[in-house]
Amino acid sequence: MKNNVKITRLKTSMTQEKLARKVGVTRQTIGLIEKGEYNPSLQLCVAIAKELNKTLDDLFWEVEV
């Protein structure tokens, strides 16, 4: 699942660790989502989007390769 989480997170200068704590998961989970190797739950996607001040579509909809 390719997505825009990493590039968006970096723009906010937030670390994986901090984002993970904010949304209630571990750093590893964020890392794998950013790599596109996880198929995260809707709840987690929404939490990440809100934390990064984006919407679901911004981060996860038809992300260009």
We find the least distance from the C-beta atom of residue 64 to DNA, in angstroms, to be 19
* Pair 5, 64: CB distance under 8 Å: no
Q: Please, which residue, 13 or 41, has the CB nearer to its own copies? A: 41
Which residue of 11, 12, 36, 41 would you call a contact of DNA, by CB under 7 A? 41
Binding partner at 61 among DNA, its own copies, none, C-beta below 5 to 8 Å by kind: its own copies
* Pair 1, 57: CB distance under 8 Å: no
Residue 34: CB atoms within 10 Å: 20
Does residue 46 interact with DNA by CB under 7 A?
A: no
At residue 63, the 3 state secondary structure works out as coil
